Amino acid sequence: MDKRKDTRIPVQKRGKDKKNRILLTAKKLFIEKNYFEVSTNEIAKQTGVSIGTLYSYFSSKDDILAELLNDYNNSFLPILKKINNQESFQAFKTDTKSWLSYLIDQLTDAEDKEFHLQIEMLSFVVPKVFDLRKRHNDQITDLIYEYFLYYANNTTVHEIRFLSIIVFDYISALVDELLYNKHSSSEKDDIKKYGINSIHTVIKTHLN
Amino acid sequence: MDKRKDTRIPVQKRGKDKKNRILLTAKKLFIEKNYFEVSTNEIAKQTGVSIGTLYSYFSSKDDILAELLNDYNNSFLPILKKINNQESFQAFKTDTKSWLSYLIDQLTDAEDKEFHLQIEMLSFVVPKVFDLRKRHNDQITDLIYEYFLYYANNTTVHEIRFLSIIVFDYISALVDELLYNKHSSSEKDDIKKYGINSIHTVIKTHLN
Amino acid sequence: MDKRKDTRIPVQKRGKDKKNRILLTAKKLFIEKNYFEVSTNEIAKQTGVSIGTLYSYFSSKDDILAELLNDYNNSFLPILKKINNQESFQAFKTDTKSWLSYLIDQLTDAEDKEFHLQIEMLSFVVPKVFDLRKRHNDQITDLIYEYFLYYANNTTVHEIRFLSIIVFDYISALVDELLYNKHSSSEKDDIKKYGINSIHTVIKTHLN
Amino acid sequence: MDKRKDTRIPVQKRGKDKKNRILLTAKKLFIEKNYFEVSTNEIAKQTGVSIGTLYSYFSSKDDILAELLNDYNNSFLPILKKINNQESFQAFKTDTKSWLSYLIDQLTDAEDKEFHLQIEMLSFVVPKVFDLRKRHNDQITDLIYEYFLYYANNTTVHEIRFLSIIVFDYISALVDELLYNKHSSSEKDDIKKYGINSIHTVIKTHLN
DNA sequence: AATGAATGAGACTTCATTCAT
DNA sequence: TATGAATGAAGTCTCATTCAT
């Protein structure tokens, strides 16, 4: 017998809308304050829905977070797909700098920049969130690894592994700097340029 | 014979001890669980002190955190001092790689690695903590900036500014990778070597 | 060709079916869990009926219980009838032991053994249920009384009253022991035999 | 590490008083309404205590029940002790009727007659309570068994087992009749007399 | 100074019942 | 008639904080 508490599975449009509205409100509030300081009652009230309704769509506050994580995951997938894409790889075979630039653009353009911060926060606290983050990062690291593998000459697989870890770290650091630190638009451009150049240098030098 | 049970420790000192013990317990618990999941009553009990006593030393749970942050700040100062030290600067004037290595060692050896994670987490949540973190990072960035300023030839102040931001980001990313990701000891050595080399390359190339 | 999907069952009948199905499900669930741990929504869902429909047939959860009690009552009636039956009385006039055996069999074979437990439980909680139980018990006691009345020689009406109360208690105790305590089939046979013999002894001795 | 939530262990008199007052109120309310229809808030309010205080003494509503059961158990123990007592056994060796009478008196005089009903009710619902009840009943049955064992002549151990089960059932039924059904005082005396006589008859006849 | 019993707002969650469609 | 989304009062429990001793 199925022990899951049966949360409403919205079939009709109205129901889906309401569920989405709850999710949206929750996300908004989680971003504004933070997961721990947002109450389910508040989410319900701000959505303009009774607490009972909220709990008919979600079995718990955790469940709301889980759905949000799921959505985040799903919104991240196309970005990964784009990057992992054969075409882009082919196109960038001979032009590492463009590949790098493209990669960084994809990561920077990822939606949910603000919710991403909540995820980062929660990854310190909620194991499930930690795993999600790790999975995402590993996927990107693997992608970089594959690209390097293709280009490597006198470099061992081991070295490439380390290099891809480090390059992923640098790329992430750069993306974070661009997304979350307050810089003017022109500063951002410069930082991005410098960042890409520097990482490119690193790759060129170590992958001779 | 009048044998006083105990040599009385001056009231102030005893008070300070108690306060410190509370802070220590709080920090331990914040690390073990996390700020949100630790209660003031728990801190008091684990310290072996009544909740009333705790509240005679601290006005609120937030206040405990504030003091801890303050301590963290103070423990960070000597590290900064060491790095900013004229001597080290002089010593490393001609050897950027050694300077870099030294810088990274200092940051890696910083105490409170574990509490640092709590701070990172809370910086997403508590503005005061965010500011602290930013202040620390800015100080290190400034330090790097100063070093670069000294070496720059055909580089504008502006460019140096960006470069120091980026290099700080890379250094931080490397330190985090070394401290918080699970690598074997030999892997760590390799990653560190690669990391230092790559950052060195970046500096050399962009500061020619 | 105009082929109506379904021969329409007269509305009344269909309604009755649905109502019965709800009652059946409710009873099943009340037995499986217990009255307090079963929700109306659950009953509706398990019946395959909307909660709205449920509330169109029953005005409240209590009402469902009331109907179930009513049904229980009605299903108990034939049993009483059988026992009270003139024929059986006649048949057993000269054979108290057989009469006793028959009585116990009837009570043991009563349907709804499991629901009976719910009723017993609820009789501690819901006055209405308490009354129902009392009414049933009184009816059986009366029946025993009548039988004894017939046989009494040097016994006052008063004494017969008390005796029938006590004998009813013993019979009930025996039936409960047989129905609800875990005994092997052969143990049950022995207990039943002993029980009947002992009650028979009581009657014989006190009614001589 | 001890995972039990630390409920207050009252050392001082005042604390013990308060805990007892909560228990007393809870018992009163459980008797008046029933366990399921009494809320912790109500218990707290009626005790004249905040809900927080209640939860500092008890970890949950279940815990309150558990303590009450424990107390019940402990109040039952002396009764058992009295019955099991060597002296009484010796004294009643030659006088089964007196032994029976004594046994029934002890059970009838058991305190907590009203709470006993709650326990009976809950034993249908809460396994823990069911077990408690069973344990009590088994102890009394064993006691009866021992007594019979002593007296048995041409009776097998097996038969004695069954007889003691049945006699226990009859005794319980009689005690319940005396305690919970509304009879006048003189009626009670008669019922008791008849009951004892009848059970005595049973024993005599079957233990010849 | 220190104690710790006491507080109560507020968090999460359930469920009998209603009502627009 | 039937549906099921929606309601919200009420229940259990937590925890930062206070205050009489």
Statement: the CB of D83 is under 7 Å from strand E: no
Is residue D173 a contact partner of residue C169, using CB atoms and an 8 Å limit?
yes
Task: Give the pLDDT confidence score for residue D136 in this predicted structure.
Answer: 92
Burial tier of D80 (Cβ tally within 10 Å: 0-12, 13-18, 19+)? middle
Establish if C79 belongs to a structural domain.
Answer: yes
Residue C3 lies in a domain: no
CA distances from C166 to C11, C144, D170, D171, D207 (A): 50, 10, 9, 10, 21
The Cα C93–Cα C109 span in angstroms is 22
Per-residue pLDDT averaged across B70-87, rounded?
84
Closest CA to C197 of C174, C176, C180: C174
CA dist A141 and A157 (Å) reads: 14
Contacts of B159 in chain A (CB under 8 A): 194
Number of domains within chain A: 2
| Among the listed residues B104, B86, B137, B128, the one whose alpha carbon sits nearest the alpha carbon of residue B203 | B104
Residues A41, A78 within the same domain: no
Position B102 in a domain: yes
Distance A40 CA to E11 C1' (A): 8
> Cβ of A24 under 8 Å from any chain B Cβ?
no
B131-156 mean pLDDT:
88
Disruptive mutation site among D117, D120, D121, D124 for chain C (greatest number of C CBs within 10 Å): D124
Residue D130: both structure tokens together: 């069911």
Give CA torsion, residues B197, B199, B200, B206, to 10 deg: 140
The pLDDT-based confidence of A13 (bands split at 50, 70, 90) is low
CATH of the domain at A26: 1.10.10.60
- pLDDT for A111: 72
Question: What burial class does residue A7 get, using C-beta atoms within 10 Å of its C-beta: 0-12 exposed, 13-18 middle, 19+ buried?
Answer: middle
DSSP alpha helix (H) spans, D85-156: 86-92, 96-109, 113-122, 127-151
pLDDT on residue D89: 73
Distance CA D63, CA D43 (A): 13
Which helix (H) or strand (E) segment holds residue C205: the answer is helix C185-207
CATH number at residue C137: 1.10.357.10
Do C148 and C96 lie in one domain? The reply is yes
Q: Quick one: pLDDT at residue B43? A: 97
Q: Number of residue pairs across C and D with CB atoms under 8 Å?
A: 88
> What burial letters (b/e) apply to D48-69, b meaning 16+ CB within 10 Å?
ebeeebbbbbbeebeebbbbbb
Same domain, D129 and D167: yes
Which residues of chain C neighbour D125 with C-beta distances below 8 Å?
34, 36, 121
Q: In which residue ranges of chain D is pLDDT below 50?
A: 1-3
- Per-residue pLDDT at C164: 94
Amino acid letter, B92 = F
What is the C-alpha separation between C151 and C147, in angstroms, rounded? 7
Is the domain of B84 the same as that of B140? Answer: yes
Token look-up 């558990």 returns D66
C13-39 exposure pattern, b = at least 16 Cβ within 10 A, e = fewer: eeeeebbeebbebbbbbbbeebbeebe
> What gap in Å lies between CA A96 and CA A106, rounded to an integer?
15
Answer yes or no: are the C-beta atoms of B122 and B129 closer than 8 Å. yes
Residue A115: pLDDT over 80 = yes
Residues 54-113 (D) near nucleic chain F, CB < 7 A: 55-56, 59-62
Compute the average pLDDT of residues C28-52: 95
pLDDT value, residue C13 = 62
pLDDT tens profile C93-140? 788 899 899 999 999 988 788 899 999 999 999 988 999 999 999 999
Joined tokens for residue B46: 């684990």
In the predicted model, what is the mean pLDDT of residues B79-103?
82
Shortest Cα–Cα distance, C125 to chain D (Å): 6
From B148's Cα to the closest Cα of chain A, the distance in A is 15
Q: Is B52 helix (H, G, I), strand (E, B) or coil?
A: helix
The verdict on a CB contact (< 8 Å) between C177 and D194 is no
pTM of the model: 0.87
Q: Look at residue D73 and tell me if it is in a domain.
A: yes
C208 touches chain D (CB under 8 A): no
One-letter identity of residue B106: Q
Is residue D158 a part of any domain in this protein? yes
CB spacing of B173 vs A172 below 8 angstroms: yes
B9 pLDDT above the threshold of 80: no
- pLDDT on residue D132: 93
| Per-residue confidence (pLDDT) for residue A154, from 0 to 100 | 73
Question: Nearest to residue B177, comparing CAs of B159, B166, B161, B189?
Answer: B189
User: In this structure, are B135 and B171 located in the same domain?
Assistant: yes
Indicate the range of B92-101, C67-76, C164-173, D169-178 predicted with least confidence: B92-101
* Within a domain: C157: yes
Tell me, yes or no, whether C1 lies in a domain.
Answer: no
Place of tokens 């790095």: B83
| Separation of D37 CA and F9 C1' (Å) | 15
Tokens representing residue D116 in the block: 């006993």
d(C-alpha C93, C-alpha D1), whole Å: 72
Q: What is the pLDDT of residues D63-111, one digit of tens each?
A: 999 999 999 999 888 888 888 777 777 777 788 899 899 999 999 987 7
Chain D CB contacts of C117 under 8 Å are 124
D-chain residues near C197 (CB < 8 A):
206
Taking the C-alpha atoms of residue B159 and residue B140, their distance in angstroms, rounded to an integer, is 17
Shared-domain flag, residues D49 and D72: no
For residues B52 and B146, membership in a common domain is answered with: no
Give the pLDDT score at D87.
76
Q: D152 and D129: one domain?
A: yes
Q: Is B151 in contact with B200 (CB distance < 8 Å)?
A: no
- Per-residue pLDDT tens digits for A145-172: 988 888 777 778 888 999 999 999 999 9
Task: Tell which phi-psi region holds residue D58, choosing left (phi > 0), alpha (psi between -120 and 50) or beta.
Answer: beta
Claim to verify: residue A79 and residue A182 sit in the same structural domain = yes
Asked if B170 and A170 count as a contact pair (C-beta separation under 8 A), the reply is yes
- Among residues A115, A116, A107, A77, the alpha carbon closest in space to that of A192 is found at A107
Output Rg (C-alpha) for chain B, integer angstroms.
22
> What's the pLDDT at C3?
42
- Asked if residue B63 belongs to a domain, the reply is no
What is the pLDDT, as a whole number, of residue A3?
A: 40
3-state secondary structure of B85: coil
Instruction: Tell me how far apart the alpha carbons of residues A127 and A125 are, in angstroms, rounded to a whole number.
Output: 6
Q: Does C166 touch chain D (CB under 8 A)?
A: yes
Chain E positions under 7 Å from a protein CB?
1-20
Model confidence at B82, pLDDT cuts 50, 70, 90, reads: confident
Residue A112 backbone phi and psi in degrees, to 5: 65, 30
Q: What is the pLDDT of residue D85?
A: 76
**Both C160 and C183 in a single domain?**
yes
Question: Using CB atoms and an 8 Å cut-off, which of residues 26-65 of chain A contact chain B?
Answer: 34, 36-37
DSSP one-letter string for D27-95: HHHHHHS-GGG--HHHHHHHHT--HHHHHHH-SSHHHHHHHHHHHHHHHHHHHHHHHH-HHHHHHHTT-
User: Best interface-test mutation with C: which of D126, D137, D162, D177 has the largest number of C CBs within 10 A?
Assistant: D162
Beta carbons of A163 and B194 less than 8 Å apart: yes
- Judge if C184 and C91 occupy the same domain: yes
The reported pLDDT for the residue numbered C14 is 65
Does B17 score more than 70 pLDDT? Answer: yes
Burial status of residue A203 (CB atoms within 10 A of its CB: 0-12, 13-18, 19 or more):
buried
Domain residues for the domain of B106 are 68-205
- Nearest protein residue to E18's C1' (by CA)? C52
Residue B128 above 60 pLDDT?
yes
Q: Determine the Cα–Cα distance for residues A121 and A131; give it in Å rounded to an integer.
A: 13
- Å: A69 CA to E10 C1': 27
For residue C52, the distance in angstroms to the closest alpha carbon of chain D comes to: 26
Question: Which pLDDT does position A14 carry in this prediction?
Answer: 61
> Average pLDDT in the A1-5 region?
44
Interatomic CA distance for residues D192 and C155, integer angstroms:
17
The pLDDT value recorded for residue C139 is: 92
Place B195 in a pLDDT band, splitting at 50, 70 and 90: very high
Q: Flag whether residue D198 sits within 8 Å of chain C, measured between CB atoms.
A: yes
Tokens of residue A68, six digits: 């949000």
In a shared domain, residues D179 and D89: yes
